[in-house]
Amino acid sequence: MLVVLKPQTPEATVADVGARLRMAGLAVHRTEHDGRVRFAAVGDLGAIDPKQVESWSGVESVAKLSKPFKLASRAFHPHDTVISVGRIAIGGPQIAVMAGPCSVEGEEQMFTIAKAVAEAGATVLRGGAFKPRTSPYAFQGLGEEGLKLMRRAADAYGLAVVSEVMEPDMVPLLARYSDILQIGARNMQNYALLRVVGHTEKPILLKRGLSSTIEEWLLSAEHIMARGNRQVMLCERGIRTFETYTRNTLDLNAVPVVKELSHLPVIVDPSHGVGIRNKVAPMARASIAAGADGVIVEVHHDPDRVLSDGAQSLYPEQFAEMVKQIRTIAEVVGRTV
């Protein structure tokens, strides 16, 4: 149920409406838009009559929240959510550029790449310290030492940090070093993990599952938001289809669809979306044209000798050229990089 209060309703009346909804056994979530307080009342609505709620003091209208994802929907929160991270406001006019290696491999590697991506225009340094790999024999990451290296490199060049958290028990450790906690595609429906990050104060980058629908993706965001964390970014990173030429199929249809359904920022990962170095920049350009709020790409100064995902990692000079290209496209669509 969506309960919209009248403009300039006294805070005491606002609090009373919220309390009465909670007394009916509903979970109540508040937002504001166009000078009006809006409540999403979620739960068993059988115990309360919407017409009765309309008669309460201060209430302007009552409507049904028809989408299964209530808090992530534009019906609840009509204007775009903007998430401040370091020196970038993600979801605002400026396009967020996140870049870095697939895995943290060492100090020299991290400082070299951090310097290169910062000089080219990135605002967020990405990198994996704990790597969920298909093979148990593949490189699994440097763990906490990798997080420390990434934090030091990011701080040296004025960048924020995004890194993946894989298990609920790992959230405090990742939150100590990272500005953004990434939920990987394989964990999109790990509800125990979603509940835990829902109680943090860190922004969350939620990657779409390998075979997940847009609705399932938004419902995973809802799990996080229902626990109190509204700082969720959605990341389209390619889905599994019958096509085998590219690593995945980057679903750019999802960008305008999600932007219409939801107020949450949308980031695109063309590196995992295609898995082929010379296809990353074209898909990054297309992402910005489609309305994405940012891109996250893999960059390495020596991709032929990396421990993971070398085939899709851009050389620093390729990344710098890609940023120039998306800057041009951003200007066309009324945004900046």
Could you report the per-residue pLDDT of 288-331, keeping only the tens digit for each? 999 999 999 999 998 888 777 778 899 999 999 999 999 999 99
Question: What is the predicted pLDDT for the residue at 308?
Answer: 73
**Which residue do the tokens 């990054």 mark?**
284
Could you report the per-residue pLDDT of 253-286, keeping only the tens digit for each? 999 999 999 999 999 999 999 999 999 999 999 9
Q: What is the residue extent of each domain of the chain?
A: 2-63, 83-332
Of 128, 125, 137, 135, residue with least CA distance to 161:
125
pLDDT band of residue 189 (cuts 50, 70, 90) is very high
Query: What six digits make up the tokens of 95?
Result: 């396009």
Query: What is the distance between the alpha carbons of residues 304 and 75, in angstroms, rounded to a whole number?
Result: 48
Per-residue pLDDT averaged across 132-136, rounded? 72
Query: What six digits make up the tokens of 74?
Result: 């534009």
Q: In what order do the strands lie in the sheet with 2-5?
A: 27-33, 36-42, 2-5, 59-63
Neighbour-count burial for 57-82, b at 16+ CB within 10 Å, e otherwise = ebbeebeebebebbbbbbbbbeeebe
CA–CA distances in Å: residue 39 to residues 31, 199, 202: 7, 20, 24
Query: What six digits make up the tokens of 310?
Result: 């070398």
Q: Which fold has domain 2-63?
A: Alpha-Beta Plaits (3.30.70)
**Number of other residues whose CB lies within 10 A of the CB of residue 192:** 10
Residue 200 pLDDT more than 90?
yes
Could you report the per-residue pLDDT of 33-61, keeping only the tens digit for each? 999 999 999 988 887 899 999 999 999 99
**Number of other residues whose CB lies within 10 A of the CB of residue 324:** 12
pLDDT band of residue 133 (cuts 50, 70, 90) is low
CATH of 83-332, one of 3.40.50.10320, 2.60.40.10, 3.20.20.70, 2.60.120.10: 3.20.20.70
